[in-house]
């Protein structure tokens, strides 16, 4: 979730809702990223959603993993680079599969502040030379 403070009274377009100045507004990122209006069949792994052409069809604020605007994540480029390097170097030597203990779909923990699986993440990892 992102949090913002309304700087001035703002009428939400096409509605009778007005946000008063000073009100805290919570932006539900997970809800946006799983809204089938923007991401059909949202639980399906589908990298094609993020081709240049498909991204162009959506409002940019429907995808907010690093926030947006002047206070967005300052570490975004570093994080993306590090994640890509980590995944590439891991997948070079390993294969990952779901196993009997994997929870599909994920059941989110209600006790955690961050989004995590109730039962942990169980996977079978094998050295790629075994395949």
Detail the residues annotated as belonging to a binding site for heme: 73
Tokens 């923990």 belong to 109
* Closer to ligand HEM by Cβ: residue 42 or 65: 65
DSSP 12: P
In terms of residues, how long is the chain? 131
* Closer to ligand HEM by Cβ: residue 74 or 91: 74
* Closer to ligand HEM by Cβ: residue 60 or 69: 69
Shortest approach of ligand HEM to residue 4 CB, angstroms?
7
Query: Distance (Å, rounded) from C-alpha 10 to C-alpha 65?
Result: 25
φ/ψ of residue 6, rounded to 5:
-70, 125
DSSP bridge pairs for 25? 4
* H or E, element range at 20: none
Assess whether the previous peptide bond of 105 is cis (omega < 30° from 0): yes
Shortest approach of ligand HEM to residue 85 CB, angstroms?
13
Interface residues with ligand HEM (CB under 6 A)? 2, 65-69, 71-75, 78-79
DSSP 107: -
* Closer to ligand HEM by Cβ: residue 81 or 123: 81
Shortest approach of ligand HEM to residue 30 CB, angstroms?
11
Shortest approach of ligand HEM to residue 24 CB, angstroms?
13
């Amino acid at each position: 979730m992102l949090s913002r403070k309304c700087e001035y009274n703002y009428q939400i377009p096409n509605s009778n809702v007005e946000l008063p100045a000073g009100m805290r507004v919570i932006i539900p990122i997970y809800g946006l990223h799983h809204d089938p209006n923007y991401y059909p069949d949202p639980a399906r792994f589908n990298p094609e959603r993020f081709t240049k052409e498909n991204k162009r069809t959506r409002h940019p604020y429907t995808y907010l993993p690093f926030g947006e605007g002047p206070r967005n994540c300052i570490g975004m480029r570093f994080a993306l680079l590090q994640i890509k390097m980590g995944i590439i170097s891991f997948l070079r030597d390993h294969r990952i599969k779901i196993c009997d203990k994997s929870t599909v779909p994920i059941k989110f923990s209600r006790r955690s502040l961050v989004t995590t699986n109730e039962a942990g993440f169980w996977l079978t990892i094998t050295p790629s030379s075994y395949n």
